[in-house]
Structure 1
């Protein structure tokens, strides 16, 4: 996928795109535009906008090839007039009017102070009348081509009637520019040239009409394409896009696929109130529309969406409308401008702050003294996950790693260097066999706690095929995630077998627990951040690396699990 190109010397980002062979006579070999920024994140947003412009330029070039009239006679006059106004503004600002004039005779005059030489300056029109033989059509062609490029319009084929008309019209406007420059040089700042004032040309009118009619779903599709360009076509991006599509579809079911400019602040506020009445889970919800689900929740008194989910769905709408703002399709983002998303976020934070996200010591004891971790063991009745359900919770507790990071591990990722055993979580620079990590800081080495070694984790690791997965029974879901199904099985085990009642997330709660315990026992923040793959955003964190020996030593402070019998489970 195309990405912004960073110039190695200037550091400025550029948009670069190969031009199809048939369009090269009009656009050249490469469509290249400066993004006018050295900031990578800002460049991504501008890159997406420039991609849209390149598509428009390619479409115009295709239209020209097919014989369509891209530029009318009035458009030709308008383009030359725009060039005239830009050039005149620059001359008037600099005061260097001689740049648009032709040197005439030099006259020497005798003065009390000696001989003074005076240079006569002629307008181009005066020079032509005096016999000037300069080929002004050739002089004006580069100006014309740059003017077309500035307006993102492909140059017509040389020798075509439109091309000849453009050259002739630009020549006429060059003569008018020179005439005005002569007057300004002589002190006349009141005379104005007889050229058109700015107004839209045909392609711009068509673009405006398209923008004005662009619907919410059309904006979403453009957002989707830009996100794939910016973030890469990987399973994580595709998952996010699918979640966004589902949320936007529900919005459209309520308000219709309305033009994006019609999504007002009032509609956003109304959408929040509608979300507050949306049911959490309903069997067969995929076959029901949003209004039907809201009515069902009301009549059947079903549980409705949490404040956090409402906030997240508003953020989805805000992200898509924010893209429309960046593309200049709408002037404001009504989600941000209305303050609805911020208010929903405050409500969500207020409730989230009161909900415990990590496991208590009593909850950990109940989990790890349950049948799965005793000598009698436990297996799910319908699915054989091998030893995954035993080792996965232990690894999540002792490493603080994300469930998916552990489920996608290969057997070769359990490594040992200088006597220190560790997990290599995509520590290479490349993605491996479709596996991904959330952020670049997530690529890391995580030491193994002594308890894991004592429980037989290394023995288990050596028992599985070394060229395969660490947990061979796990297969990727259609979206490519190894931990999706086993995560559901673990949540069901906690709910039905352990009968655990906890506000902590079944899997992610261990990650919060790891951070809480690390702070309690005094593991330095930069050390436990390195183990969990967090980055505080400071520049200093990008320098150097955290030694494995240091992490291993600090990890010894993490308390052993309460309630775990300590039995070594064989494979």
Structure 2
């Protein structure tokens, strides 16, 4: 695996630098064996932001050299000398517009070491937030953005002046503002901006708490009776052999999620090899980001999930046995901006509505994750095992030592009651 490029810290001065080896074929053109550039900071976080920009500029230099756009060999570099480049000079702090800051922020994302899909999704989400601000307020120089602009932007999100634009919920407004704030914080770290106007505006305090206070009767997961109603409904059971998109994924993703507490995207991205048998004979579902089109939410999300006997009886293994290795379990699901499982979510919501179990504020697919945790508590599955299965990090440093015993997990998962039997999912029952 290739190492991710990092800023170089000078051992004496403590100042960080970009250092890059010039490719052999470009040395006669550029006249250097190495590109070195001071990042003008001893702060590691600021260095990472400046490094991403300097690295992108060095890439442009190499590209220009290959395309014949580099004017003659440059003299040997010295520490602190700016990179030789034909790009326009860096704008002054006062003239850098928000669109330019966004462009450089997106460039920096590629240096984060995340998977290609996660980086691309991150860039799309944050670009959407900034472009919405530019549409509403204008593409101002970042130094000219004032707290009053942030308040005006937030007000227009919650209550648009244009009657044709749908107002956003407070939670969605907070999310857009947080993403805009991240781009402006990057600008502060890069030295283009003195302070972050989103933070200075204190807009999040004015918008109120992030989440409403939870009531004792609040339940973000399905109750047992609701699960039985959903899976016992004739419309749901007919989806088992559905064709096209999303096809039978609308049957299998909810069923597997109910028995595992796995996230929708973790299941939608599975490959044939991810459903496999261990030495003890038990079957497991492997959640791992070992391919470019697979991702995990956190480090603790990489895990093995034991397969309940009900899933085997329902035919989960038949989905993968005899299939070509290297293919996906649900090949009809195509990855788009909202992942593989977005289309399943869109199809699942109206089913919950027609079954009479839909509740505003409850995420119809993610609710299975909450239901699983509740069932695990009710039927004596220890919290540590439940956390292993769902990929929840405990926060205790000791839990990062050792491994999670698969045999223990396989035994504990069988404590879950037979939802399939209660809902009449088994043939001839």
Equivalents in 1 of 2:145, 2:362: separation in Å? 37
Map Cα deviations across residues 32-85 of structure 1 (whole Å, 9 max, x no partner).
Answer: 769998xxxx856522312434667899999xx859xx9xxxxxxxxxxxxxxx
Matches within 5 A, 1:243-254: 243-254=125-136
Deviation at residue 236 of structure 1 after TM alignment: 2.1
Aligned partner (choices 101, 105, 111) of residue 219 of structure 1: 101
Deviation at residue 431 of structure 1 after TM alignment: 2.2
1:556 aligned partner: 414
State whether residues 3 and 47 of structure 1, in contact with CA within 8 Å, keep that contact through their aligned partners in structure 2. Answer: no
Say whether residues 1:296 and 2:164 are aligned partners: yes
State whether residues 36 and 79 of structure 2, in contact with CA within 8 Å, keep that contact through their aligned partners in structure 1. Answer: no
Deviation at residue 19 of structure 1 after TM alignment: 3.4
Q: CA RMSD in A?
A: 3.9
Structure with the largest fraction of helix: 1
Aligned partner (choices 198, 218, 222) of residue 359 of structure 1: 222
Report the CA distance shift for 1:422/1:490 in structure 2 as closer, same or farther (over 3 A).
Answer: same
Deviation at residue 328 of structure 1 after TM alignment: 1.0
Say whether residues 1:409 and 2:277 are aligned partners: no
Equivalents in 2 of 1:389, 1:433: separation in Å? 24
1:172 aligned partner: none
Equivalents in 2 of 1:456, 1:56: separation in Å? 54
State whether residues 372 and 379 of structure 1, in contact with CA within 8 Å, keep that contact through their aligned partners in structure 2. Answer: no
Deviation at residue 453 of structure 1 after TM alignment: 2.3
State whether residues 456 and 568 of structure 1, in contact with CA within 8 Å, keep that contact through their aligned partners in structure 2. Answer: no
Map Cα deviations across residues 179-205 of structure 1 (whole Å, 9 max, x no partner).
Answer: xxxxxxxxxxxxxxxxxxxxxxxxxxx
Aligned partner (choices 392, 395, 399) of residue 541 of structure 1: 399
State whether residues 35 and 43 of structure 1, in contact with CA within 8 Å, keep that contact through their aligned partners in structure 2. Answer: no
Report the CA distance shift for 1:341/1:60 in structure 2 as closer, same or farther (over 3 A).
Answer: same
Deviation at residue 335 of structure 1 after TM alignment: 1.3
Report the CA distance shift for 1:154/1:379 in structure 2 as closer, same or farther (over 3 A).
Answer: closer
State whether residues 239 and 479 of structure 1, in contact with CA within 8 Å, keep that contact through their aligned partners in structure 2. Answer: yes
State the number of aligned residues.
Answer: 407
> Under a length normalisation based on structure 2, what TM-score does the superposition of the two structures give?
0.80
3-state SS of the aligned residue for 1:462?
coil
State whether residues 359 and 510 of structure 1, in contact with CA within 8 Å, keep that contact through their aligned partners in structure 2. Answer: yes
3-state SS of the aligned residue for 1:312?
helix
1:3 aligned partner: 4
Report the CA distance shift for 1:276/1:58 in structure 2 as closer, same or farther (over 3 A).
Answer: closer
Map Cα deviations across residues 328-379 of structure 1 (whole Å, 9 max, x no partner).
Answer: 11111121222213543x43312677864212233222212211455xx247
State whether residues 57 and 153 of structure 1, in contact with CA within 8 Å, keep that contact through their aligned partners in structure 2. Answer: no
Deviation at residue 306 of structure 1 after TM alignment: 1.6
Equivalents in 1 of 2:398, 2:110: separation in Å? 30
Report the CA distance shift for 1:477/1:154 in structure 2 as closer, same or farther (over 3 A).
Answer: closer
Deviation at residue 325 of structure 1 after TM alignment: 0.7
Matches within 5 A, 1:188-199: none
1:75 aligned partner: none
Matches within 5 A, 1:373-392: 373-374=236-237, 377-378=238-239, 383=244, 385-392=246-253
The structure whose Rg is larger is 1
Equivalents in 1 of 2:168, 2:285: separation in Å? 38
State whether residues 4 and 16 of structure 1, in contact with CA within 8 Å, keep that contact through their aligned partners in structure 2. Answer: no
Report the CA distance shift for 1:363/1:43 in structure 2 as closer, same or farther (over 3 A).
Answer: farther
Map Cα deviations across residues 277-330 of structure 1 (whole Å, 9 max, x no partner).
Answer: 14xxxxxxxxxxxx53xx335xxxx6x322211111110111111111110111
1:350 aligned partner: 212
Deviation at residue 554 of structure 1 after TM alignment: 2.0
Equivalents in 1 of 2:384, 2:172: separation in Å? 31
1:333 aligned partner: 196
Say whether residues 1:431 and 2:290 are aligned partners: yes
2:144 aligned partner: 262
Deviation at residue 449 of structure 1 after TM alignment: 1.3
Equivalents in 1 of 2:103, 2:3: separation in Å? 18
Equivalents in 2 of 1:263, 1:555: separation in Å? 54
Equivalents in 1 of 2:281, 2:153: separation in Å? 58
Equivalents in 2 of 1:235, 1:456: separation in Å? 31
3-state SS of the aligned residue for 2:36?
strand
1:486 aligned partner: 344
Matches within 5 A, 1:452-463: 452-462=311-321
State whether residues 115 and 292 of structure 2, in contact with CA within 8 Å, keep that contact through their aligned partners in structure 1. Answer: no
Equivalents in 2 of 1:316, 1:457: separation in Å? 40
Say whether residues 1:18 and 2:7 are aligned partners: no
Choose 253-262 or 378-387, whichever is displaced more: 378-387
> Under a length normalisation based on structure 1, what TM-score does the superposition of the two structures give?
0.62
1:400 aligned partner: 261
Matches within 5 A, 1:524-535: 524-535=382-393
Deviation at residue 22 of structure 1 after TM alignment: 4.6
Equivalents in 1 of 2:177, 2:312: separation in Å? 46
2:282 aligned partner: 420
Equivalents in 2 of 1:381, 1:456: separation in Å? 15
Equivalents in 1 of 2:152, 2:338: separation in Å? 36
State whether residues 17 and 51 of structure 2, in contact with CA within 8 Å, keep that contact through their aligned partners in structure 1. Answer: no
Say whether residues 1:149 and 2:154 are aligned partners: no
2:36 aligned partner: 31
